[in-house]
Homo-oligomer: A and B are copies of this chain.
Protein backbone atom coordinates (compact mmCIF):
# COMPACT_ATOMS: atom_id res chain seq x y z
CA UNK A 1 0.00 0.00 0.00
CA UNK A 2 2.96 2.18 -0.59
CA UNK A 3 2.02 4.00 -3.72
CA UNK A 4 -1.67 4.23 -3.60
CA UNK A 5 -3.71 5.73 -6.41
CA UNK A 6 -7.22 5.68 -7.69
CA UNK A 7 -6.52 2.60 -9.78
CA UNK A 8 -5.56 0.59 -6.72
CA UNK A 9 -8.55 1.87 -4.83
CA UNK A 10 -10.73 0.91 -7.76
CA UNK A 11 -9.46 -2.63 -7.65
CA UNK A 12 -9.81 -2.98 -3.92
CA UNK A 13 -13.34 -1.67 -3.91
CA UNK A 14 -14.30 -3.37 -7.14
CA UNK A 15 -15.18 -0.12 -8.81
CA UNK A 16 -13.81 1.80 -11.75
CA UNK A 17 -11.33 4.62 -11.57
CA UNK A 18 -13.93 7.03 -12.85
CA UNK A 19 -16.13 6.34 -9.90
CA UNK A 20 -13.26 6.85 -7.50
CA UNK A 21 -12.40 10.10 -9.20
CA UNK A 22 -16.00 11.25 -8.94
CA UNK A 23 -16.01 10.65 -5.23
CA UNK A 24 -13.28 13.25 -4.78
CA UNK A 25 -14.68 15.89 -7.03
CA UNK A 26 -18.09 16.40 -5.56
CA UNK A 27 -19.62 15.04 -8.70
CA UNK A 28 -23.41 14.62 -8.49
CA UNK A 29 -23.22 11.50 -10.65
CA UNK A 30 -22.43 9.14 -7.88
CA UNK A 31 -24.33 7.15 -5.33
CA UNK A 32 -24.04 8.61 -1.89
CA UNK A 33 -23.14 5.31 -0.30
CA UNK A 34 -20.51 4.55 -2.89
CA UNK A 35 -18.97 7.91 -2.33
CA UNK A 36 -18.83 7.45 1.39
CA UNK A 37 -17.37 4.02 1.06
CA UNK A 38 -14.64 5.42 -1.15
CA UNK A 39 -13.89 8.41 1.03
CA UNK A 40 -13.73 6.22 4.10
CA UNK A 41 -11.30 3.89 2.40
CA UNK A 42 -9.23 6.83 1.20
CA UNK A 43 -9.11 8.35 4.61
CA UNK A 44 -8.06 5.10 6.18
CA UNK A 45 -5.26 4.77 3.69
CA UNK A 46 -4.35 8.39 3.83
CA UNK A 47 -4.99 8.96 0.17
CA UNK A 48 -5.53 12.16 -1.75
CA UNK A 49 -5.65 12.48 -5.54
CA UNK A 50 -2.25 13.39 -6.89
CA UNK A 51 -2.09 17.07 -7.45
CA UNK A 52 0.28 16.91 -10.38
CA UNK A 53 -1.77 14.40 -12.27
CA UNK A 54 -4.91 16.44 -11.79
CA UNK A 55 -3.10 19.54 -12.92
CA UNK A 56 -1.80 17.86 -15.98
CA UNK A 57 -5.34 16.99 -16.95
CA UNK A 58 -7.01 20.23 -15.97
CA UNK A 59 -4.24 22.69 -16.66
CA UNK A 60 -4.98 24.37 -13.40
CA UNK A 61 -2.30 24.44 -10.79
CA UNK A 62 -4.13 26.12 -7.93
CA UNK A 63 -0.83 27.71 -7.23
CA UNK A 64 0.23 31.30 -7.30
CA UNK A 65 3.66 32.87 -7.24
CA UNK A 66 4.46 35.76 -4.94
CA UNK A 67 7.62 37.66 -5.76
CA UNK A 68 8.91 40.31 -3.39
CA UNK A 69 12.19 42.14 -2.91
CA UNK A 70 12.54 41.08 0.72
CA UNK A 71 10.79 39.16 3.44
CA UNK A 72 12.46 40.56 6.53
CA UNK A 73 10.38 43.69 6.24
CA UNK A 74 7.06 44.28 7.90
CA UNK A 75 5.57 45.78 4.80
CA UNK A 76 6.16 42.79 2.58
CA UNK A 77 5.54 40.28 5.33
CA UNK A 78 2.13 41.81 5.99
CA UNK A 79 1.35 41.97 2.32
CA UNK A 80 2.17 38.29 2.02
CA UNK A 81 -0.18 37.65 4.91
CA UNK A 82 -2.95 39.35 3.00
CA UNK A 83 -2.25 37.42 -0.17
CA UNK A 84 -2.07 34.17 1.75
CA UNK A 85 -5.37 34.90 3.42
CA UNK A 86 -7.20 35.19 0.13
CA UNK A 87 -5.31 32.33 -1.48
CA UNK A 88 -6.12 30.01 1.36
CA UNK A 89 -9.82 30.71 1.03
CA UNK A 90 -9.63 29.81 -2.62
CA UNK A 91 -7.66 26.69 -1.85
CA UNK A 92 -4.56 27.99 -3.57
CA UNK A 93 -0.94 27.34 -2.73
CA UNK A 94 1.64 30.09 -2.60
CA UNK A 95 5.05 29.83 -4.15
CA UNK A 96 7.32 32.39 -2.58
CA UNK A 97 10.26 34.06 -4.16
CA UNK A 98 12.52 36.81 -2.92
CA UNK A 99 14.61 38.89 -5.28
CA UNK A 100 16.81 40.84 -2.83
CA UNK A 101 16.03 43.67 -5.20
CA UNK A 102 18.24 42.05 -7.78
CA UNK A 103 16.73 42.38 -11.20
CA UNK A 104 18.38 39.26 -12.58
CA UNK A 105 16.78 37.10 -9.92
CA UNK A 106 13.40 38.45 -10.83
CA UNK A 107 13.94 37.73 -14.50
CA UNK A 108 15.27 34.28 -13.82
CA UNK A 109 12.39 33.31 -11.58
CA UNK A 110 9.72 34.62 -13.86
CA UNK A 111 11.30 32.87 -16.79
CA UNK A 112 11.11 29.62 -14.90
CA UNK A 113 7.46 30.23 -14.29
CA UNK A 114 6.81 29.82 -17.96
CA UNK A 115 6.64 26.10 -17.40
CA UNK A 116 3.06 26.08 -16.20
CA UNK A 117 4.06 25.94 -12.59
CA UNK A 118 1.57 28.59 -11.48
CA UNK A 119 -1.77 30.02 -12.51
CA UNK A 120 -0.85 33.60 -11.70
CA UNK A 121 1.75 35.93 -10.25
CA UNK A 122 1.63 38.71 -7.69
CA UNK A 123 4.73 40.80 -7.44
CA UNK A 124 6.43 43.91 -6.21
CA UNK A 125 9.09 44.64 -8.79
CA UNK A 126 12.81 45.21 -8.55
CA UNK A 127 14.18 46.43 -11.83
CA UNK A 128 12.44 49.47 -13.10
CA UNK A 129 15.05 50.85 -15.44
CA UNK A 130 15.25 47.68 -17.48
CA UNK A 131 13.66 45.87 -20.35
CA UNK A 132 10.49 44.20 -19.15
CA UNK A 133 9.86 42.01 -22.08
CA UNK A 134 10.10 38.84 -20.00
CA UNK A 135 6.88 39.86 -18.32
CA UNK A 136 5.02 40.21 -21.55
CA UNK A 137 5.90 36.64 -22.34
CA UNK A 138 3.68 35.56 -19.50
CA UNK A 139 0.74 36.96 -21.38
CA UNK A 140 1.37 34.52 -24.19
CA UNK A 141 0.94 31.77 -21.67
CA UNK A 142 -2.15 33.41 -20.22
CA UNK A 143 -0.59 33.79 -16.82
CA UNK A 144 -2.07 36.91 -15.27
CA UNK A 145 0.15 39.20 -13.25
CA UNK A 146 -0.69 41.76 -10.58
CA UNK A 147 1.78 44.34 -9.30
CA UNK A 148 1.59 45.85 -5.86
CA UNK A 149 3.42 48.83 -4.42
CA UNK A 150 6.39 48.76 -6.75
CA UNK A 151 5.18 48.62 -10.30
CA UNK A 152 6.40 48.90 -13.85
CA UNK A 153 4.60 51.77 -15.52
CA UNK A 154 5.20 50.37 -18.98
CA UNK A 155 3.48 47.07 -18.32
CA UNK A 156 -0.27 46.88 -18.61
CA UNK A 157 -1.37 44.66 -15.74
CA UNK A 158 -3.58 45.20 -12.72
CA UNK A 159 -1.92 47.19 -9.97
CA UNK A 160 -2.38 48.03 -6.33
CA UNK A 161 -0.54 51.05 -5.03
CA UNK A 162 -1.00 53.77 -2.46
CA UNK A 163 -1.50 57.50 -2.72
CA UNK A 164 2.23 58.11 -2.66
CA UNK A 165 2.10 61.59 -4.03
CA UNK A 166 -0.43 62.87 -1.52
CA UNK A 167 1.16 61.30 1.50
CA UNK A 168 4.60 62.51 0.52
CA UNK A 169 3.15 65.95 0.13
CA UNK A 170 1.52 65.81 3.58
CA UNK A 171 4.59 64.39 5.23
CA UNK A 172 6.78 67.14 3.85
CA UNK A 173 4.22 69.75 4.76
CA UNK A 174 4.15 68.34 8.26
CA UNK A 175 7.91 68.78 8.59
CA UNK A 176 7.61 72.32 7.33
CA UNK A 177 4.87 73.02 9.84
CA UNK A 178 7.23 71.78 12.50
CA UNK A 179 9.65 74.47 11.52
CA UNK A 180 11.93 72.62 9.12
CA UNK A 181 13.36 74.73 6.33
CA UNK A 182 15.98 72.34 4.99
CA UNK A 183 14.13 69.09 4.45
CA UNK A 184 16.20 66.32 2.92
CA UNK A 185 14.66 63.60 0.80
CA UNK A 186 16.13 60.11 1.22
CA UNK A 187 15.53 57.86 -1.72
CA UNK A 188 16.94 54.71 -3.26
CA UNK A 189 16.48 55.71 -6.85
CA UNK A 190 15.00 59.09 -7.49
CA UNK A 191 14.37 58.41 -11.15
CA UNK A 192 11.98 55.52 -10.95
CA UNK A 193 8.35 55.14 -10.07
CA UNK A 194 8.04 55.24 -6.33
CA UNK A 195 11.10 57.38 -5.81
CA UNK A 196 9.90 59.75 -8.49
CA UNK A 197 6.31 60.08 -7.35
CA UNK A 198 7.26 60.52 -3.73
CA UNK A 199 9.89 63.02 -4.73
CA UNK A 200 7.29 65.01 -6.64
CA UNK A 201 5.09 65.21 -3.56
CA UNK A 202 8.07 66.43 -1.61
CA UNK A 203 8.99 69.10 -4.13
CA UNK A 204 5.47 70.35 -4.57
CA UNK A 205 5.07 70.72 -0.82
CA UNK A 206 8.26 72.77 -0.68
CA UNK A 207 7.02 74.93 -3.53
CA UNK A 208 3.67 75.52 -1.92
CA UNK A 209 5.46 76.89 1.12
CA UNK A 210 7.88 78.94 -0.93
CA UNK A 211 10.91 76.96 0.05
CA UNK A 212 13.48 76.85 -2.70
CA UNK A 213 14.31 73.36 -3.90
CA UNK A 214 17.94 72.45 -3.31
CA UNK A 215 19.00 69.32 -5.11
CA UNK A 216 21.80 68.66 -2.66
CA UNK A 217 19.03 67.80 -0.26
CA UNK A 218 17.97 64.88 -2.39
CA UNK A 219 20.09 62.06 -1.02
CA UNK A 220 20.32 59.18 -3.43
CA UNK A 221 21.18 56.00 -1.55
CA UNK A 222 22.01 52.45 -2.52
CA UNK A 223 21.02 48.90 -1.68
CA UNK A 224 24.01 48.47 0.56
CA UNK A 225 23.53 49.19 4.24
CA UNK A 226 27.11 50.24 4.90
CA UNK A 227 27.26 52.53 1.95
CA UNK A 228 24.03 54.11 3.04
CA UNK A 229 25.41 54.79 6.47
CA UNK A 230 28.30 56.72 4.94
CA UNK A 231 26.13 58.53 2.43
CA UNK A 232 23.75 59.68 5.12
CA UNK A 233 26.51 60.61 7.50
CA UNK A 234 28.15 62.75 4.85
CA UNK A 235 24.87 64.35 3.97
CA UNK A 236 24.13 65.24 7.57
CA UNK A 237 27.56 66.75 8.00
CA UNK A 238 27.75 68.66 4.77
CA UNK A 239 24.23 69.59 3.80
CA UNK A 240 22.97 70.01 7.34
CA UNK A 241 19.28 69.32 6.86
CA UNK A 242 16.89 70.03 9.71
CA UNK A 243 14.33 67.51 8.54
CA UNK A 244 14.38 64.13 6.83
CA UNK A 245 11.66 62.74 4.65
CA UNK A 246 12.58 59.16 3.87
CA UNK A 247 10.91 57.28 1.07
CA UNK A 248 12.09 53.96 2.44
CA UNK A 249 12.04 52.58 5.97
CA UNK A 250 15.55 51.21 5.71
CA UNK A 251 16.99 54.67 5.13
CA UNK A 252 15.21 56.12 8.13
CA UNK A 253 16.64 53.39 10.32
CA UNK A 254 20.09 54.03 8.92
CA UNK A 255 19.58 57.68 9.81
CA UNK A 256 18.73 56.64 13.36
CA UNK A 257 22.02 54.79 13.59
CA UNK A 258 23.94 57.74 12.24
CA UNK A 259 22.21 60.13 14.63
CA UNK A 260 22.99 57.86 17.55
CA UNK A 261 26.63 57.79 16.63
CA UNK A 262 26.89 61.47 15.80
CA UNK A 263 24.84 62.38 18.86
CA UNK A 264 22.37 64.31 16.83
CA UNK A 265 19.28 65.11 18.85
CA UNK A 266 16.12 63.86 17.16
CA UNK A 267 13.71 65.65 16.97
CA UNK A 268 15.27 68.83 18.35
CA UNK A 269 18.01 69.17 15.79
CA UNK A 270 16.65 66.90 13.13
CA UNK A 271 13.10 65.80 12.49
CA UNK A 272 12.42 62.51 10.75
CA UNK A 273 9.43 61.02 9.03
CA UNK A 274 9.48 57.95 6.84
CA UNK A 275 7.45 55.56 4.82
CA UNK A 276 7.31 52.49 7.03
CA UNK A 277 5.06 49.65 8.07
CA UNK A 278 7.14 48.76 11.07
CA UNK A 279 4.71 47.76 13.77
CA UNK A 280 7.07 48.79 16.53
CA UNK A 281 7.73 52.27 15.20
CA UNK A 282 6.21 53.65 18.45
CA UNK A 283 8.85 51.84 20.49
CA UNK A 284 11.83 53.34 18.71
CA UNK A 285 14.05 55.94 20.25
CA UNK A 286 12.49 58.36 19.60
CA UNK A 287 9.21 56.93 18.30
CA UNK A 288 9.31 57.22 14.54
CA UNK A 289 6.75 59.23 12.62
CA UNK A 290 5.56 57.13 9.75
CA UNK A 291 3.59 57.13 6.58
CA UNK A 292 2.13 53.70 6.93
CA UNK A 293 0.82 51.87 3.92
CA UNK A 294 -2.05 49.43 4.35
CA UNK A 295 0.22 46.51 3.61
CA UNK A 296 -2.16 43.75 4.58
CA UNK A 297 -5.04 45.26 2.62
CA UNK A 298 -2.80 45.73 -0.37
CA UNK A 299 -2.03 42.04 -0.27
CA UNK A 300 -5.71 41.22 -0.04
CA UNK A 301 -6.62 43.49 -2.93
CA UNK A 302 -3.79 42.29 -5.12
CA UNK A 303 -4.87 38.71 -4.60
CA UNK A 304 -8.50 39.59 -5.26
CA UNK A 305 -7.58 41.29 -8.50
CA UNK A 306 -5.63 38.25 -9.54
CA UNK A 307 -8.49 35.90 -8.80
CA UNK A 308 -10.84 38.14 -10.73
CA UNK A 309 -8.68 37.71 -13.78
CA UNK A 310 -8.27 34.03 -13.17
CA UNK A 311 -12.00 33.58 -12.93
CA UNK A 312 -12.78 35.80 -15.89
CA UNK A 313 -10.39 33.75 -17.95
CA UNK A 314 -9.72 36.09 -20.78
CA UNK A 315 -13.13 37.67 -21.02
CA UNK A 316 -13.07 41.17 -19.63
CA UNK A 317 -9.40 41.89 -19.99
CA UNK A 318 -9.30 45.47 -18.77
CA UNK A 319 -6.73 45.90 -16.08
CA UNK A 320 -7.57 47.69 -12.88
CA UNK A 321 -5.46 50.02 -10.85
CA UNK A 322 -6.45 50.36 -7.20
CA UNK A 323 -5.03 53.14 -5.08
CA UNK A 324 -5.29 52.66 -1.34
CA UNK A 325 -4.63 55.33 1.24
CA UNK A 326 -1.64 55.48 3.50
CA UNK A 327 -1.93 56.97 6.94
CA UNK A 328 0.30 59.48 8.67
CA UNK A 329 1.32 58.69 12.21
CA UNK A 330 3.02 61.66 13.76
CA UNK A 331 5.28 60.61 16.60
CA UNK A 332 8.12 62.16 18.49
CA UNK A 333 10.76 61.86 15.78
CA UNK A 334 9.14 64.74 13.96
CA UNK A 335 7.42 66.81 16.58
CA UNK A 336 8.75 68.33 19.75
Contacts and interface: CB of A to CB of B under 8 A. Distances in A.
B72 A78 contact: yes
Contacts of A116: 50-52
A12 to B, nearest CB: 16
From DSSP, what is the main secondary structure of chain A's interface residues? mixed
Contacts of A279: 72
A233 interface: no
Name the interface size band of chain A.
Answer: 35 or more
Interface string A20-54: 00000000000000000000000000111111110
Interface in A47-75: 47-53, 55-56, 61, 63, 66, 71-74
A89 B198 CA distance: 37
A295 to B, nearest CB: 9
Contacts of A111: 48
Nearest to A288: B283
A253 B96 CA distance: 28
28 contacts: A46-B137, A48-B112, A50-B56, A50-B116, A51-B115, A51-B116, A51-B117, A52-B56, A52-B116, A53-B56, A56-B56, A63-B95, A66-B96, A71-B80, A71-B81, A72-B77, A72-B78, A77-B77, A93-B117, A94-B95, A94-B96, A94-B97, A96-B96, A256-B283, A278-B280, A283-B284, A284-B284, A284-B285
